[in-house]
Every structure is written in C-alpha cells, then in structure tokens.
Amino acid sequence: MSQLDLIATATFGLEAVVVRELEALGYEGKVAQPGRIGF
C-alpha cells in the first residue's frame, strides 16, 4: 500500500492537542509548523 503525507490544521497553540488526537487514532503526528501537523 502507498504511503500518503497528510496535513492537519490547528489553531495556533493547539498543535500538541491535535498530535495527541492523531496518536489516539493510530497516526504518528509530527509538528511541522505552527498551525500545521504533518502525519
């Protein structure tokens, strides 16, 4: 299966919350830039 690079957006300052939510869903979230999380 091919790997996709996806980006989730977040309000500035809430990136860590989105990373935790992504990890709870089984994704490996990495904070790339403020307001954006690549996974």
* pLDDT at residue 28, as a whole number: 86
Confirm whether pTM is higher than 0.75: yes
Per DSSP (E only), the strands in 1-39 are 7-9, 30-33, 36-38
Return d(Cα 8, Cα 14) in angstroms, integer: 12
Q: Are 37 and 18 in contact (CB under 8 A)?
A: yes
Torsion 6-38-23-20 (CA) sign? negative
* pLDDT at residue 21, as a whole number: 93
1-39 pLDDT tens trace: 788 889 999 999 999 999 999 999 999 878 778 999 998
* pLDDT at residue 33, as a whole number: 86
* pLDDT at residue 32, as a whole number: 74
